């Protein structure tokens, strides 16, 4: 699965831990936004690791599979999966 | 189309302009991440507005349609479209 993980973590200490965890699963696209190519079992492992790290009242994480439309503007980070519709 | 727009804008001045533009098209999910429900013509208009605002060497914008998997952890922002798979 080609996934986007974006997160909003309140405390810097937790943010660093989440960032380090994400580096083991994917590639930073933007600040607090990662791109991952994961098997279902890896996605489950990531979800549990993140759920254990964050404060469920203050922080939020969104894990989203890439849909058919993917448009990038500006400095274009190469995406992992099959070519998408790139418009600039 | 149910879309996620995430952006990384270097200068605060441009960031404010992009944020104000996005408020006219969607709803903030996280810092620099918006959720939008747009028709193709609205998507085109948004793309052109953002392309005119950003610095194409320093800034990046990703516009992504929601795929079938959508997992949210932590403080769960209500999503616009039909119910997705919400795991917490």
Q: Measured between beta carbons, which residues in chain A are less than 8 angstroms from residue B21?
A: none
Q: For residues A53 and A18, is the Cβ–Cβ distance under 8 A? A: yes
At B39, the pLDDT band (50, 70, 90 cuts) reads: very high
- Tell me the helices (H) and strands (E) count for chain A, helix number first: 2, 4
CA dihedral in degrees (B71, B77, B78, B79; nearest 10)? -60
The stretches of chain B forming alpha helices (DSSP H) are 12-23, 40-53
The phi, psi pair for A10, rounded to 5°, reads: -70, -55
Taking only the tens place, the pLDDT of each residue in A26-67 is 999 888 999 999 999 999 999 999 999 999 999 999 999 988
Residue A37, in any domain of the structure: yes
Taking only the tens place, the pLDDT of each residue in B47-84 is 999 999 999 999 999 999 988 888 999 986 667 644 44
Q: For residues B5 and A72, is the Cβ–Cβ distance under 8 A? A: no
Residue A10, in any domain of the structure: yes
The parent domain of residue B53 ranges over: 2-65
Best of A12, A36, A67 to disrupt the B interface (most B CBs within 10 Å) is: A67
Taking only the tens place, the pLDDT of each residue in B6-35 is 999 999 999 999 999 999 999 998 889 999
Residue B11: CATH number of its domain: 3.30.70.240
DSSP secondary-structure letter at A10? S
Q: Measured between beta carbons, which residues in chain A are less than 8 angstroms from residue B3?
A: 69
What percentage of residues in chain A have a pLDDT greater than 70?
Answer: 85
Residue A71, in any domain of the structure: no
Structural domain count, chain A: 1
Q: Which CA distances in Å does A10 have to A4, A61, A66, A75, B30?
A: 20, 11, 26, 27, 11
Burial class (CB in 10 A: 0-12, 13-18, 19+), A78: exposed
User: Which conformational region is residue B32 in: left (phi greater than 0), alpha (psi within -120 to 50 degrees), or beta?
Assistant: left
Gap between the Cα atoms of B5 and A86, Å rounded: 15
Residue A76, in any domain of the structure: no
The stretches of chain A forming alpha helices (DSSP H) are 12-23, 40-53
A47 CB near a chain B CB, below 8 Å?
Answer: yes
């Amino acid at each position: 699965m080609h996934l986007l993980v974006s997160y909003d973590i309140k405390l810097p200490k937790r943010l660093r831990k989440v960032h380090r965890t994400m580096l083991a699963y994917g590639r930073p696209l933007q600040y607090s936004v990662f791109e991952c190519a994961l098997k279902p079992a890896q996605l489950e492992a990531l979800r549990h690791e993140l759920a254990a790290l964050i404060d469920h009242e203050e922080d939020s994480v969104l894990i989203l599979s890439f849909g058919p439309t993917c448009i990038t503007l500006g400095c274009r980070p190469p995406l992992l999966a099959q070519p998408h519709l790139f418009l600039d």
